[in-house]
Structure 1
Amino acid sequence: MEIRAPRGTEDLFGEDLELVVALEERFREHVRRFGFQEIRTPILEYAELFVRSVGPTTDIVEKEMFTFPDRGGRVLALRPEGTAPVVRAYVNHKLYADLLPVRLAYAGPMFRYERPQAGRQRQFHQLGVEVLGGEGPELDAEVIALGHEFLASLGLGDVRLELSSVGCPVCRPRYLERLREYFLPHRDELCPDCQRRLERNPLRILDCKLDRDKDFVREAPKLFDSLCDDCRRYHEEVAVHLTSLGIPFVVNPHLVRGLDYYVRTAFEWVDASLGAQDAVGGGGRYDGLVAELGGPPHGGIGFALGVERLVLGLKNRGIRLAPPRHVDVYVAAFGGGAARRLPLLFHLRRAGFVALGDADTEKVRTLLRRADRLGARVVVLVGDEEVARGEVAVKDLASGTQEAVREDELVAWLRRHLAQDG
């Protein structure tokens, strides 16, 4: 029986992999200009980390985590999101003892047991940032602007930024009680999961994949309308700072992030070209999370972007980030020149060229056809006569011209010739 990759995972290679690598490189370059340093956390974490941070009543913890016991009986999880591991590392290594705020960025795979579909896999990849030990609406606006300018730099400037507030420990409990009272008469119309959430955390009903599009759910009281004066003022100041930076946004009072650690600022980027699953990323403020994981009472804010969703958005717009794959030089060795193929290839590669080559004792045309299929710009031909003269014959595949070049002058000749071709 043929063994295939597990459902919800995929092999990356060729142009798709080049696009993902280009995205990661662009992201690292972009966040570096904002003073961020990269962090790499383990793919494996104790499941307790996500229960305490993301929330025991979230879909991630209740239904989507890949968990298993280790030999010591502790339950491990493949990380489903990036914020909690970064905050854990911040606490474990006392990164807060350094200059605050601490700006950290990450890129890597995450895992959630979901129904696979376009842009949503069980193993997926995220690009994210976290700012820890910093507070205030101005910082929130800076982090959001960082993400928005990154998307614009990719050619995704038409992605819509949606901004909201999810309240704080003062105003959210009052709102949850309003929600519970509102949904009680509709209990039998809710899915089984949401019937349980009604008592434990009715906020999760608004984010349920099965119930959120029902009319009575859409008409439920909005958290945004129940904000306390401090939260409302904070939201307004974030909006003022974004406007001063020229970042366009819309206020979405229905926006509810699916993780329990968020407070106050919440936001998403929405790409209309993706259809129903249109969120390419989002984030928010999480001021109580550091203390919850054993650290000082430091605030935090961050976001994550879904790489697979970004790739779909770029493809929908016909945007290429990675340069087309090409071969600078193809070494075609034949006859007595076959022994020169490998030394020539490494000589050219050490000089910085993308070089491939083959040897064929009889069929030079076969080698030329292969060079053409690989997209080589020039072919270096080396046979008995070239070896005897200490030369190679260099053929430009575009023009068809051919020229004899001394082997010790080949690198300099290629640099001049390929520079002229752009």
Structure 2
Amino acid sequence: MNETEGPVPITRRLASRPLTWLAAAVVAAVLLLAWACRPGSSGPDAADLPAPRTLPADPVPAGPVVTRLPARCGVSPATIEALVPGARVENDGDFGECRWHAPGSGASLKVVLTAFLDPAVGITAPPEQATLGRPPRPPAAPNTATSYGQVRAVPAAVAVTHLTDGLYSDIAPEVVTGLGDEAVGQYDRSQGVVRIRVRAGDVVASLDHHWGASPGGRRDPAGPRRDTLRAAADVARSLGAPPRGTPAFGPAETGRPLLNLPADVCALVPKAVLDKVIGDRGSPLRGRGHVAPTAVKGARNGECSWRTGRRALDVTVQAVPDVGAFGGVRTAGREYLKLHLNARGEEPLGTGGEKYFAALPGPGDQAFAAYVQGGAPGRVVFRHRNLLVEAVYTAGDPGEPLTRRQTVNGAYAVAVEIARRLPR
């Protein structure tokens, strides 16, 4: 039966009764509207939107997760002797801090392990930043990836944010390759120090190596860098992240020019898809209804929203610039990683609530789809080079929620169309 076959006989039956033609017309219109909006018909409840294609395994690692401190902060005795000959121990690893100092030469090595802990680890309350063994500091700020629900900041995502803590602002940091999940470093000739920050799962290790006096007050920077990388490799290995190849200070990032923010975010969603997910969509609301995926300094954001009494669609696009040691593409990848980790770690507010999370092969270079019943509606987040895109699809009326299938499939259909319209 098509959409015109159902209501016509009903209208005819009503017209044969002793009702006014006006009343019959009103009733027929109401029934016609109900028929058109039934599940499986055309309109915002359409069932013909494809489900996302998913990856068989999530490419984003879940660990390592540290549950106890390594001895000597993970630095081997041979490495200590090589970097700080004749060292005296000033801090032996209590409270996650180690320090060795050679009074004669002035050489020293300081290592601090900062863990971002989860209740499953059993060390402290979630999710708090604490140097292992010390009283916890105030809770880390919650993730603000979405304006909906209770999205918690998981430990590894918070660790990503704090990778560059303690680096000097007047010295350009450099990417370090082959260490942990990611690492950066600085060579400070004026202070005679090499600094390396390496993240392994939910832990950030901070290493500061003062190389002390050298003949003529000068030293080839290759030596101090190599020595500090050796210590950093020891630490990363002790945290469950063995080095990949030979760790090194990497070259500056190069590649294709960064993409600009699209001039009109609303134009990225075609009418055909809007008809399916929104129906009577009205005029789009530019720059309203949602928040940017991340808070990267200098990023440019574009937002567009569509609202009806029954459905709501929010689209956000962010163009990420070069930041510090990281180019725009790598910075966007790090921000995407935080969103991915937080979405994967989110749980329903109550028992028995449905949760859905899947890593996707597309759209874009990296993507995921997520939904949490009673928390966050269906959304798809993807990265295309240095652009971060988020599509969120939900019910306009909280009293008539969408199913997980409806909300995720709707967000995915929108995200796929946006990706097709972005510049290569």
Give TM-score, length-normalised by structure 1.
Answer: 0.21
